[in-house]
Chain A
Amino acid sequence: MKGQKGINAEWRPSPGLHWFAIAVACCTVVLLIVGALVTSNEAGDSVPDWPLSFGRWLIESDNFVANVRYEYSHRFIAGVVGVLTFGLALSALFVEKRSWVRRLAWIAFAGVIAQAMIGGVRVLLGESSKPFIAVPHALVAQSFFGALVCLAVFTSRSWAARRETVREQQSPRLRTLSAIAVAAVLIQLVLGAGYRHQALGIMPHIIGAITVTVLVTWTAVTVLRRYSGDRFLTRPAIGSLIFLVIQLGLGVSAYLARVAAHGQPQPLEPMITLTVAHVVVGALTLAQLLVLTLRCYRALQPAGERAEGIAKATALSSTRKATV
């Protein structure tokens, strides 16, 4: 059963803004990789000052050795992402007609500024505060990345083109299920950060992994069963499943590599690469699931909501007739 979703007929997607959002999101993935390299190499305190690095904005090449490579690259790329996000928010101000999308772009910019501040606090407060600062740092990082993914989705042509909505008659509702799965993945990413930064043990992360596996699989399989012909929904569902499988494999491998490396004098391969890949694929799983959730909200309409809408429309029509 299909209905017509009311959208602003004057609104047209801006391909420039869309590709800009994708570019900033890709740069953020690079930033996440380098951030994970900082943690995995225990490089967080290798540059003791902040916001300057060894008293300078651009360090000398002699200083760019050992763990400083990771920490300084992280700061530098974070600066680039900050400037790009500001550019994205400014572009949205001029190009984007929907005020809520413009606001989201500025929220993303506020997020990257907050993230830089939290990173700075982590450097200045030192070792004892590490778990309490590093975990929020990881959470805001993933949330910021999520905001950029949302911007990319909202400015896409497929989002604009999708005007038909499908009435959801079966339970559980996919809009609710996918939103819960997103929340679970975000919590799981925080639990993972808690483990990496030694604020939590491994058990909460394992329990989180089981929960996420159940929720993501349930969501994706439900989409594939109910809407097998709708690529708008099935593509991110398949993507979520693929990333979930990779992520589980990486998680087990990274943990075993970490246990095997116990007592080593320094972080070594393959633990570093596996952990970094695990962090990044976690973010990509979140991105896929966010795309799926947003598209579910775009393309699906709960049965109750539609009935309510029809009742409102009928009431409005009756009022008009009475007035005439």
Chain B
Amino acid sequence: MLKRLSLIFMLIALSATLLAACGKGDDDEPEEDEAPPKVKFQPKGNEGTISGVVKFDGPVPTPQRIDMSGDANCAAAPGAKTVDDVTVTDGKLANVYVYLKAPSLDRFSYDVPDANVLDQQGCRYTPRVLGLMVGQTLRVTNSDPTAHNVHPSPRQNTEWNKSQPPNAPPIEAKFNRPETLIPVKCNQHPWMKAHVGVLAHPYFAVTDNEGKYSIKDVPPGKYTLTAWHEKFGEQPMKDFEVKASESKTQDFSFGAKAAYAPTSLKVEPAFIVPSR
């Protein structure tokens, strides 16, 4: 019996060692897509614009309190100690990611803009929702006098987790596959959450504090226009057509009903099958 137990423990130790040896290190690069090179997109001058406002219906939920007492630097940081996942100003909802989907857009390659910055300030991510293009640099900075770890958990791209002490140089990373949206969190301060949307094209926007968004230089065509919010989910709008040189307005409306349904007696599923 004891011999068998010894053998089992030795097998566990061996397997764990092998797994650790094969584990992902910091130097791992995301795998490149093996698809053939795409044709570079050439604007024809007849591109249109989509803009609009995302409204919020119903009573605005009271922001939840954050307990930052675990880190004196966070507790001393200026600003309200509440969650900013639902930011509503005069009935308009901020941090909504609005983007286009269509096979026609994926046929081309596009110029990749400069780095987009995700800052850690007051032990929060600023901005909370961020859009990137495939291959665009995500530059993560730390403006806090405390250390953070930056940990995106993508499904299509490579996961990484890096520590960033105060005054450390920015962390720069790229995502090589489209993915909407990638949760980013700091495991040292578990209330710190952000989302990064990655698309192969530049037709996306995030609503500002007035709930406004604008997607420019959209080639004429039919698309699915989708608005996504981290609490309220997605609102896809199929067969959304943009005609030549058209300035189209499309508003969205989210409500508190679905996200704030009582959960006190919620029965959880018996088995959760990981989606990956």
The number of inter-chain residue pairs (CB within 8 angstroms) is: 146
Q: Given the complex, which residues of A lie within 8 Å of B263, measured CB to CB?
A: 259, 262-263
Asked if B66 CB lies within 8 Å of chain A CBs, one says yes
> Are B20 and A67 in contact, CB atoms less than 8 angstroms apart?
no
Fill in one digit per residue for B1-25: 1 if any A CB lies within 8 Å of its CB, else 0. 0100110011011001101100111
Does residue A264 face the partner (Cβ distance < 8 Å to B)? Answer: yes
Judge whether B276 is part of the interface by a CB distance below 8 angstroms: yes
CB neighbours of B25 from chain A (8 A): 124
Residues of A within 8 A of B10 (CB): 110
CB of B171 to closest CB in A, whole Å:
11
Find out whether the CB atom of A110 lies under 8 angstroms from the CB atom of B66. Answer: no
Contact A48 B272, CB 8 Å, known A42-B187, A67-B188, A264-B64: no
> Interface readout for B264-275 with A: 1 if CB under 8 Å, 0 if not?
111111111010
| Bound Cα distance A114, B60 (Å) | 50
Least CB distance from A48 to B in Å reads 4
Given contacts A127-B151, A128-B153, A128-B159, contact A201 B269 (CB under 8 A): yes
| A266 and B66 contact, Cβ closer than 8 Å, known pairs A45-B149, A65-B188 | yes
B107 within 8 A of A: no
From B43-51, B71-79, B207-215, B243-251, the one touching the partner chain is: B71-79
Chain B residue nearest to A120 in the complex (CB): B20
For A67, list chain B residues within 8 Å (CB): 70, 187-190
Q: How far is the CA of A124 from the CA of B153 in the complex (A)?
A: 13
Other A-B contacts than A66-B74, A120-B20, 15 sampled, CB-CB below 8 A, are A46-B149, A49-B163, A63-B165, A67-B188, A114-B12, A117-B17, A120-B16, A121-B20, A124-B20, A126-B161, A128-B159, A198-B272, A200-B271, A201-B271, A266-B189
Cβ contact of B274, chosen from A46, A65, A111, A131, cutoff 8 A? A131
The interface residues of chain A lying within 8 Å CB-to-CB of B13 are: 110, 113-114, 117
**Residues from chain B with Cβ under 8 Å of A69 in the complex:** 70
Residue with the highest number of chain B CB atoms closer than 10 Å, among A114, A262, A264: A114
Contact with B along A126-141 (1 / 0, CB 8 A): 1110010000100010
Given contacts A103-B6, A111-B9, A200-B272, is CB(A48)–CB(B163) below 8 Å?
yes
Distance from B186 Cβ to chain A, minimum over Cβ atoms (Å): 8
A267 at the B interface (CB under 8 A): yes
Q: Which of B29-46 contact A (CB under 8 A)?
A: none
Q: How far is the CB of B92 from chain A (nearest CB, A)?
A: 22
A contact residues around B19 at 8 Å (CB):
121, 125
Do B189 and A265 touch (CB < 8 A)? no
Which B residues touch A260, using CB under 8 A?
Answer: 264
- Does B83 make an interface contact (CB < 8 A)? yes
Q: How many Å lie between the Cα of A111 and that of B267 in the bound state?
A: 36
Complex: chain B residue closest to A104, CB-CB:
B2
* Least CB separation from B9: chain A residue: A110
Report the contact-size class of chain A (Cβ under 8 Å from the partner): 35 or more
- Chain B interface (Cβ < 8 Å from any Cβ of A): 2, 5-6, 9-10, 12-13, 16-17, 19-20, 23-25, 64, 66-67, 70-74, 83, 85, 146-147, 149, 151, 153, 155, 159-163, 165, 187-191, 193, 263-272, 274, 276
CB neighbours of B160 from chain A (8 A): 126
Contact between chains at B16 and A262 (CB < 8 Å): no
Given A117-B16, A202-B268: A267 and B153 within 8 A (CB)?
no
Q: Confirm or deny: A80 has a beta carbon within 8 angstroms of a beta carbon on chain B.
A: no
Cβ A66 vs Cβ B189 within 8 A? yes
Are A42 and B190 interface neighbours, CB within 8 A? yes
CA distance A103 to B199 in the complex (A): 58
Cβ B266 vs Cβ A127 within 8 A: no
Given contacts A107-B2, A259-B264, A266-B190, are A201 and B272 in contact (CB under 8 A)?
yes
Q: Which residues from chain B contact A266 at a C-beta distance below 8 Å?
A: 66-67, 189-191
Across-interface contacts of B73 in A (CB, < 8 A): 65
Contact B12 A140 (CB under 8 A): yes
- Sort A-B residue pairs by CB-CB distance and give the 3 closest, nearest first: A117-B16, A124-B23, A203-B270
Which one of B159, B163, B190 lies within 8 Å of A126 (CB-CB)? B159
